[in-house]
Structure 1
Amino acid sequence: MARTFVAIMLALLSPALLSAEVVRAASIRVAGLYLSPDTSSTKLADIDRGREVIYLETSGDWIHVEANLTEERTVTGWTPSKGLIQSTTPDGDKILFGEAVDAEDQASQRNGRRYAAQDAMRLYGEVAELFPQSPLAGEAMYRSADIRWQIEKADVMSLPSAREQEPYLRRGMNEDYFKKVIKKFPNTKWAQLATFQLIDNKLCGDWQAQAKCPVKEAEIYEKYAAEYPQSPAAAQALFQAAYRWSALIEIYKSGEESKKSDEAKNRAIADAEKAIAQAGQSDWGPRSKRLLYMVQQGIPGEKHLPVVQ
């Protein structure tokens, strides 16, 4: 009898529970969080750009929210509704994306806003979270993952272990966010670009003038270009492969392996020519032409370090 009563109550409550969906939003400005819906009340914190909030209740132009101020800290308080973008906001995806682009531009400027890169990372992420069906969702998720990757990469490469020859001897960047792009947007250029960026974790820290690393890396890049010929990164991958074969010309010469040196030269030329053919109007065309010229003229290349991407 008790079980029947519980089942009936759940059936009656379900429609109400379903209708009370959680309302999430993201801020496109630094907004104050207050103890009560009044700017004269105690200020609890600031909500940074791109931080997610969950609506609890409203009072006029104020929203009572649960704000995720950091990954570890959540604070409840009142904030003005202006600047909060939710899934029902007209053109909300474009507004968030536009704010993210502006933040990314700030980050690229010498005297740009502090932590603008992190703002852009969060804002792009919220485009994909709040507007998963938006035409901008795939690009936004990729850009968010890429900014996170570059921030982490700068940290990883500043460590002494970054100079180790083998990639497994250093800390790698977190691959989860790029893998999420690949999973959610398969067979798109964003998935292809994410796959390309993941190659970073397979690269050696220092070649140490040995053939092992550049050979392995050149083959990884060639494999990528063969598997994703339509990728926006295909020409770059071919350039990276050609660069490594060009370095191997001198590495093999110094080891008195003339046959392997000649083979490396031929492969460098072949990959550079392919890169030129696929580069279109991108910078990888001129860079590949320069590399091709240097190889054909016998101008020595770098033997010790991989090219910085």
Structure 2
Amino acid sequence: MTIQTVTDAIRYVGVDDNTLALFENQYPVQPMGVSYNSYVILDEKIAVMDSVDARAAEEWLSNVARVLEGRSPDYLVVTHMEPDHSGSLMRLAQKYPEMKIVGNAKTFTMIKQFFGTGEFSEDRMLEVGERDTLSLGLHRLRFLLAPMVHWPEVMAAYEEEEKILFSADAFGRFGSLERTARAPWAPQARRYYYNIVGKYGAQVQALLKKISALEIKTICPLHGPMLTEDLGEYLRLYDLWSQWKPEKPEGILIAHASIHGNTAYASEALKSKLEGKGAQVTMCDLTATDLSYAVTSAFYCGKLVLACSTYDGD
């Protein structure tokens, strides 16, 4: 992935993965791929914002080195420890032994669990808590803990000078930047949210409340594109999704699984009758549709019909 300029002082150094078939080994991401996002803030002190999956380590390390132009980073900020974001953490830490690791208490518990207790001396671990700040010079990061959005150690970082929210997995989307640059954000962001984050609506609401008082010009998530326009719409959708409210209250999803075709035929007949009364109906064949798409449609629509066959007397 080409290095991108976020602002004069901030660079995107993430990596596209167009070969991955199943994200988290369960969600299909072909042919769209996925991006592992990472950023570098260049100031008197330099902060690298998260690492990437181990399968993308070499390209990421090259991107970081190109942006640094011979300088060494002062900090690696870890907002999320899931392996697709921490998988290359040790590679950067070993390359730059003076660099400090920035995380919260739960971050460092996981680092020790993932990589061993002896990997970092205490003076390399900089622990931050709710609303703590880290000055880089002109830029300053303020940390907002976001536990269970969607892991217990997650936190967001707000850069106060340029009004940028580094949102961890929140506001993420399936799709590599190269292949989906012109694709609408919502369809794959919706599928990502409901299948990965959706269980934790109350925790997302808590994070939305924290950021509601902030002036945000750009959202930089760990997957998918940087968001710079229509931020109000992205925030509106996240608020709606995290309250489990349907985007299409009048919509009806008919999800069916048919053995010999009769249940499918009955579902089509029901669809026809409902549409005859003016209803908006979406059909989902559960024998052919990946579950992640079916789950997304179920939350998108206001009403749900499940049509299933009897089998062995049940």
Normalized against structure 1, the TM-score is what?
0.29
Tell which structure's C-alpha radius of gyration is larger.
Answer: 1
Higher strand proportion (structure 1 or 2): 2
Higher helix proportion (structure 1 or 2): 1
Which structure is richer in relative contact order (CA contacts within 8 A, separation 6 or more)?
Answer: 2
Normalized against structure 2, the TM-score is what?
0.29
